[in-house]
Amino acid sequence: MTNTVMDTKPKGLLGKLGHGLGLAGLLSGKKPINAALLDELETLFLTADVGIELTQDIIDAIQQGASRNSLTDSAAVYDFIKTYLLELLAPCTRPLVIAKQATPFVIMTVGVNGVGKTTTIGKLSARLAQAGQSVLLAAGDTFRAAAVEQLQSWGKRNEIPVISQPIGSDAASVAHDAMESATAKSINVLIIDTAGRQHTSTDLMQELVKIRDVISKKDVTAPHEVLLVLDAGTGQNALTQLTSFKEAVNVTGIIITKLDGTAKAGIVLAIAKKTGVPIWFIGVGEGTKDLRPFDAGDYIDALLTS
């Protein structure tokens, strides 16, 4: 038996997305498909951080459609783009599912410094607790003093216990303690926070691999998920992060944060193009409720019109 936590439909995403594509305006009416229109489209895509590769793919596909006469005007292009993007996102729209038989179900959270890992863990743990799961958090960012306190304050706010050790402790040892504690207390979900910065990025990846190994030693099936947190505001840089974390710890799900404010929402498409890994949630603010299940249809609607 499984239990999904993606049970609520996002509402009002339209007002929350930062910088969309604004295609509805450009493509309304029945304008001819010509070089000027394609140029404008290209600029809109690139400005919204869709990335060169995917932008080129879409423009090529439109050109092909136009030359085969299957696309005859701008309104048809709008529908075409919508369908194209929905298909692109389809493999990434799988919810986070907490398998009941895993005790605990372990989610290891990774990502560079400042992307929103700790905040996202706070929001996610609140959501899980609300859905009736018992949750335990592990303060695996032992690199920064504030990081442990930040996780503890989220824990306090939502009455969720937090396992921690003093700053500078071995993060793998925190993970080990947390595994023991979660097992002893029959906790459903253990979420492990990690550092996003070490002295070098090699140190960081080595530490993450070590944490992973310690978890697997306690339960060969764990970690059940490896969550990568990406900040939409970092633009194309997010793709580089995706590649390096995937290589080091085999990412199984993504949460994209800071899609509110000035972030360019097209980055979600670039991420989808680069990977079939599910995008479980998106972050649209700093509050507990600002974590929305990723809904491709809502997202595309907001992206195209905002």
Contacting positions for ligand GDP (CB under 6 A): 111, 113-119, 150, 196, 257-258, 260-261, 283-286, 290
> What's the min distance (Å) between Cβ of 114 and ligand GDP?
5
Quick one: tokens of 242?
Answer: 């995706």
Q: Name the residue nearer to Mg ion (CB basis): 14 or 145.
A: 145
User: Among 114-122, 215-223, 257-265, 277-285, which window interacts with Mg ion (CB under 5 A)?
Assistant: 114-122
How many residues touch Mg ion under the rule CB under 5 A: the total is 4
Q: Name the residue nearer to ligand GDP (CB basis): 115 or 211.
A: 115
> What's the min distance (Å) between Cβ of 147 and Mg ion?
4
φ/ψ of 40, rounded to 5, equals -65, -40
> What's the min distance (Å) between Cβ of 149 and Mg ion?
10
Q: Name the residue nearer to Mg ion (CB basis): 117 or 246.
A: 117
Do residues 74 and 27 touch, judged by C-beta distance below 8 A? yes
Asked if the peptide bond before residue 32 counts as cis, ω within 30 degrees of 0, the response is no
Q: Max CA-CA distance within the chain? A: 67
Count of alpha carbons within 13 Å of 114, Cβ hemisphere only? 5
The full 3-state SS of 32-57, as one line of letters, equals CCCHHHHHHHHHHHHHCCCCHHHHHH
In this chain, which residue has its C-beta nearest to ligand GDP?
283
71 contacts Mg ion (rule: CB under 5 A): no
> What's the min distance (Å) between Cβ of 20 and Mg ion?
28
Which has the closest alpha carbon to 232: 258, 196, 251?
258
Distance CA 209, CA 270 (A): 27
Q: Exactly one of 147, 190, 269, 282 binds Mg ion (CB under 5 A); which one? A: 147
Do residues 137 and 125 touch, judged by C-beta distance below 8 A? yes
Quick one: tokens of 97?
Answer: 């599912």
> What's the min distance (Å) between Cβ of 135 and ligand GDP?
17
> What's the min distance (Å) between Cβ of 60 and ligand GDP?
33
Q: Name the residue nearer to ligand GDP (CB basis): 111 or 253.
A: 111
> What's the min distance (Å) between Cβ of 291 and ligand GDP?
8
Q: Name the residue nearer to ligand GDP (CB basis): 27 or 174.
A: 174
User: Among 93-101, 117-125, 129-137, 251-259, which window interacts with Mg ion (CB under 5 A)?
Assistant: 117-125
Q: Name the residue nearer to ligand GDP (CB basis): 42 or 149.
A: 149
The partner in contact with residue 258, picked from ligand GDP, Mg ion, none with C-beta cut-offs of 5 to 8 angstroms by kind, is ligand GDP
Do residues 65 and 71 touch, judged by C-beta distance below 8 A? yes
Name, in order, each residue with C-beta under 8 angstroms of 275's C-beta and a sequence gap of 6 or more: 92, 242, 246, 251, 254
Q: Name the residue nearer to ligand GDP (CB basis): 91 or 261.
A: 261
Helix (H) or strand (E) holding 298: helix 296-305
Q: Exactly one of 118, 158, 234, 252 binds Mg ion (CB under 5 A); which one? A: 118
Do residues 277 and 252 touch, judged by C-beta distance below 8 A? yes
Helix (H) or strand (E) holding 151: helix 145-158
Going by the DSSP 8-state scheme, the letter that residue 279 receives in this structure is E
Q: Name the residue nearer to ligand GDP (CB basis): 22 or 114.
A: 114
**Tokens 């905002």 — which residue?**
306
User: Among 59-67, 96-104, 109-117, 216-224, which window interacts with Mg ion (CB under 5 A)?
Assistant: 109-117
Q: State the residues that interact with Mg ion by CB under 5 A.
A: 117-118, 141, 147
